[in-house]
Structure 1
Amino acid sequence: MNIGMYLSQNARKVPDKLAISCEDRSYTYDHFNREVNRLANGLLDMGLAHGDKIAFMMKNSDHFVFSYFAGAKIGAVIVPMNFRLTSSEISYILGQSEAKAVICDSEFEGVVQKAMEGTSVMKVVVVGTPKIAEHRSYHEILSENESDPDVAVTETDDLEILYTSGTTGRPKGALFDHRRIFNVGLSMMISMGINQQERFLHIAPLFHSAQLNLFLVSGVVLGATHYIHRDFHPVHTLQAIQEHRITHFFGVPAMFNFLLQVPDADRYDLSSIRRCGYGAAPMAPELVKKSMNLFKNDQFYNLCGLTEAGPNGILLDPNGHKNHLGKNGKPSFLTEAKVVDEAGREIEPGAVGEFILRGESIMKEYYRKPEETKATLKDGWLYTGDLATVDEEGNITLVDRKKDMIISGGENVYSIEVEEVLYEHPQVLEAAIIGLPDEVWGEAVCAVVVPHQDQVVNEEELKQFCRQKLAGYKVPRRIFIEEALPRNASGKILKYQLRQQLNKVKA
C-alpha cells in the first residue's frame, strides 16, 4: 500500500469522473493520473530518487496536487512550506529537512534562490517561466511516459515532513510514512462520513496538514471531486459553493468570520453543503452559531488535531454540538486521548491537566531532532503541551497552551474562557487574551480586540460586560484595540508577537 497507488486505482475504476478543477483547468481521474505520471517520470529523469526530500513553495493549484502525488509515486518525501515565510525561515527548513529539490510557483523563485544558498538543494523546478538560468520549467521536465513510475514504494516508506507552525520558535519537522497518512484520511472517512460522492472545496492552504491530509489525500483515495482555489476570497468561496454544489466545507475560524462579513451572504444557495469542519485554531461558540445560521446547517465538526498527529486527535460531532458546544470532543477513529497530571495520571473531571494522544496516525519522530522527539513521545503517547479539562462524559476541552496560561495573583487564567466571553460582545470581531508582566499581580490579564468594521469598542463598557460573566481576576485589566491580529498561515494567533509588541508599548 502507498498513497500514489490509490490514484492509479481510481484512474482505472472511475477514469471519466471529474477529479480536479482549478481556475479554467479540469481533469478526469484518468487525465489526473497521466499528468502525475508524466511529472513523476520527469523527476526521475532529473536524477531524483526514492527517499529524496522535495520541498514545495506553492499556493493551492492543480500543480501542487500533481507534484504531491508524483513525489509519492517515486517514494520521495514531501516537505510542504508556508509560502509566506521569509528567505531565512525557508533556508532553515530546506537545510533541516535535507531537501534535494524545490518545486515553486514563479512568484517565489527569487526567495527560494536566496534561501537555498548553503543547503543541499540542487534542483529548482518553477511553475511558470524561470527567471534564473539554472532553474527548470515545470512543463519542460514533464516526461512523455504516462505510465506509473517503476519504483517500489511501501507503506513504511516516509512520505511527508510537516513543519510545525513555529508560533514560539524554530519549527520542528514531524515525519510521517504512507501508512500514517492513510490512517489520517481513514479516520476522517469514518469520523465524518466522507465518501466518494463528495465535492470538496480547497480554500485553506494545501501546505497545511489539515487541508492536505484530512481532505485532499482522503478525497483522492476515495475518488471524490476537488475544486481548488489559489487564494481565499469570501465572495468567491460562497459563489463556488453555490455554482459547484460543494458538499464538504472546511475552514479555519477566521475564514468563517470573513464569510459572515459578506454583506449579502444569505442570498447564496449553500444548501448542497452536507457538513462543515473547522479547526487549526479555537472557534468561539458564538461564531459557530452564526456560521450554522449562515449555512442553515447544524452538521458541524470541531476538528482538534496536531500537526504531530497527522493532524488527528479529537472531534466534536454534530450531536456533540447540540449539548457540548465549546468543547473539543472525544477521540476520533484510530486515536486514544486523555488528560493527565504532571505524574502522568488521568485527572478527575473538572481538573486541568495536559492533553495527550496515541494512535495510528501519530508521527514517527521529529526529523533529526532526537531530544525533542524524546521529550514529546513518551511510552507511546504524544504529549501535546495543551492544557485541557475533561467532563463526566469524557468530552475534552482545551483551555490553553502551557506556555500561554496566565497566572495572575496566584490564580490560573485560561485564555480561551475569556476570549469566548469577548466574542459574545456585539462590537467585537476578533479577540486574544495574553498575560503581561505586572508588579502587583505578577501577570495582568490583557485583551487585544479587533472591532467590527465601523464599530467603536468602549474599554470600560467591555470590562463591565466581562464582569457579568467572569470572576473578577479573569476580567482584562487592560484592553488594546487593534486593526488586526497577527496570525500564521494555519490561522493561529501569534500571541508571542502580541506580547512582544505590547510589552514595548507598556515600557
Structure 2
Amino acid sequence: SIEDRDLSSLFLLASTAALFSPSLKERFLELLPNRVITDSIGSSETGFGGTSIVAKGASQAGGPRVTIDKNTVVLDDEGNEVKPGSGVRGIIAKRGHVPVGYYKDEKKTAETFRTINGVRYAIPGDYATVEEDGTVTMLGRGSVSINTGGEKVYPEEVEAALKGHPDVFDALVVGVPDARFGNHVAAVVAPRKGTRPTLADLDAFVRKEIAGYKVPRSLWLVDEVKRSPAGKPDYKWAKEQTEQRPADDVHAKHAGATS
C-alpha cells in the first residue's frame, strides 16, 4: 500500500493528457496532504494552455478548472470571447505561435487552424465555460459529445462521476442509439477486482454529482478499458463494445427503446 512507501522525496503530482479523476485526486490529497497536485491542459496543436493547483474538497462535478495563459481564449459560436460568468459554452482556441498545419492533410488543417475576426487560432475541439474569476472549466471534446433528447453530454464529466464509485476501476462513456431520444448515455466499465456494479448502484451514486439526463441508461462490463500508452481514451473501441453484444444492464425505461 501507499502507506508502506517512502515518499519523502515526492513534492508534486502532475496530471495532464488523461487527467486524474476527482475521486483519485481526493484520495491523493488524503494520503499526501502536504504535496502539490496540478491539472494542466494543452495539445500537440496548441502546446501548453493552462494549469491549476488542485484543492481538497473541490467540486467533483464538471471537468478540471484551470487558469489559462494570455494566448488561450474561449470563443462563442460567433467567434467572440466568452464573457466571464456568462454561462455560455464556448470552444477553446490558442493564438500566437500557431502551427502552419498538418502535413498533407488540407481538410484537417482547415478544420483546426482557423482565422476568426482577423486572428489565426489553433482550435483542437475542446469546449469550456469561463467562470466569474476568469478561470476556465473544461467540459470535453465536441467530437465525442453525446446528443440525447436535444441535450449535449460530454463523456469526461460522466466518466469522472463513475470513477468515484468504489466498485469502478475505469470507465468510458459513449452514446448508443435510442428510439425515443436519438441516443442515450451508455457506460463501458471495468470493475474493481471482485466486484460487479449494477446500473442501479451507479445511477444512485452519480446522480449526486451530475444532472439526470447525463446518467448512463445502459451498462457494459469489461475486463479492461482500452487506452493509449499516454492514457487517452479509445472511444472507438468503447463504441464497438456496445455494438458487439447486448448490454449487461439496462435501465427499465430503455430496455426496449434501442433502435
Q: TM-score range by the shorter chain?
A: 0.7 to 0.9
Deviation (angstroms), 1:367:
2.2
Distance 1:298 1:390, change over 3 A: farther
* 1:398 Cα deviation after fit: 1.8
Q: Which structure is higher in strand share?
A: 2
Aligned to 2:28: 291
TM-superposed CA distance for 1:376, in Å, is 1.6
1:288-437 correspondence to structure 2 within 5 Å:
288-309=25-46, 311-317=47-53, 326-332=63-69, 335-348=70-83, 349=85, 350-360=87-97, 362-378=98-114, 379-437=119-177
Question: 1:276 aligned to 2:22?
Answer: no
Normalised to the residue count of structure 2, the TM-score between the two structures is 0.83
For 1:323 and 1:426, how far apart are their aligned partners in 2? 19
| SS of 1:380 mapped into structure 2 | strand
Tell me by how many angstroms 1:324 deviates: 7.0
> Could you list the per-position Cα deviations for residues 175-210 of structure 1 after superposition, in whole angstroms to 9, with x for gaps in the alignment?
xxxxxxxxxxxxxxxxxxxxxxxxxxxxxxxxxxxx
Q: Is the 8 A contact 1:429 1:452 kept in 2?
A: yes
- Deviation digits for residues 21-56 of structure 1 (CA, Å, limit 9, x no counterpart): xxxxxxxxxxxxxxxxxxxxxxxxxxxxxxxxxxxx
1:498 equivalent in structure 2 = 238
Aligned-partner SS, 1:440: coil
Q: Which has the higher contact order (CA 8 A, sep 6+)?
A: 2
Contact 2:11 2:35 in 1 (8 A): no
TM-score with structure 1 length normalisation?
0.44
Q: Deviation at 1:459? A: 2.3
Q: Secondary structure at the match of 1:454?
A: coil
The letter of the residue matching 1:281 is A
- Counterparts of 1:210-249 in structure 2, within 5 Å, are none
Report deviation, 1:470.
3.2
Confirm whether residue 484 of structure 1 aligns to residue 224 of structure 2: yes
Hey, what does 2:182 align to over in structure 1?
A: 442
Distance of aligned partners of 1:323 and 1:436 in 2 relative to their CA distance in 1, 3 Å threshold: closer
1:449 aligned partner, one-letter code: V
- Alignment partners' CA distance in 1, 2:142 and 2:122: 15
Post-superposition Cα deviations, 1:334-362, rounded to whole Å, max 9, x if no partner, equal: x52121122211234322111111244x4
Give yes or no for contact 2:50–2:66 (8 Å, CA) kept in 1.
yes
Residue 233 of structure 2 aligns with an amino acid whose one-letter code is I
Pair 1:313–1:437, CA change in 2 (3 A): same
Paired with 1:472 and 1:331, the residues of 2 have a C-alpha distance of: 30
Assess if the C-alpha contact under 8 Å between 1:432 and 1:448 holds in 2.
yes
Which residue identity lines up with residue 75 of structure 2 in the other structure?
V
1:466 — aligned with what? Answer: 206
Bigger Rg, structure 1 or 2: 1
Contact 1:303 1:328 (8 Å CA) reproduced: no
- Structure 1 residue ranges without an equivalent (≥5): 1-263
Superposed, 1:44-123 pairs within 5 Å as: none
Contact map agreement 1:430 1:450 (CA 8 A) in 2 = yes
The alignment partner of 1:389 has SS state of strand
Count of aligned residue pairs for this structure pair: 239
Distance 1:297 1:366, change over 3 A: farther
CA 1:471–1:317 in 2, change beyond 3 Å: closer, same or farther? Answer: closer
Aligned-residue identity in percent: 30
Give the secondary structure class of the aligned counterpart of 1:463. Answer: helix
Aligned-pair CA distance for 1:485: 0.7
User: What one-letter code is carried by the residue in structure 2 that aligns with 1:387?
Assistant: Y
Bigger share in helix: 1
Unaligned runs of 5+ in 2: 247-258
- Structure 1 stretches of 4+ with a deviation exceeding 6 A read none
Contact 1:355 1:383 in 2 (8 A): yes
Residue identity in the other structure for 2:108: E
Structure 2 distance, partners of 1:469, 1:291, is: 20
**Are 2:172 and 2:189, in contact at CA under 8 Å, matched by a contact in 1?**
yes
Cα distance, 1:486 vs structure 2? 1.0
Shift of 1:322: 7.2
Measure, in 2, the Cα distance between the counterparts of 1:400 and 1:494: 14
SS, match of residue 300 in structure 1: strand
Secondary structure of the structure 2 residue equivalent to 1:366: coil
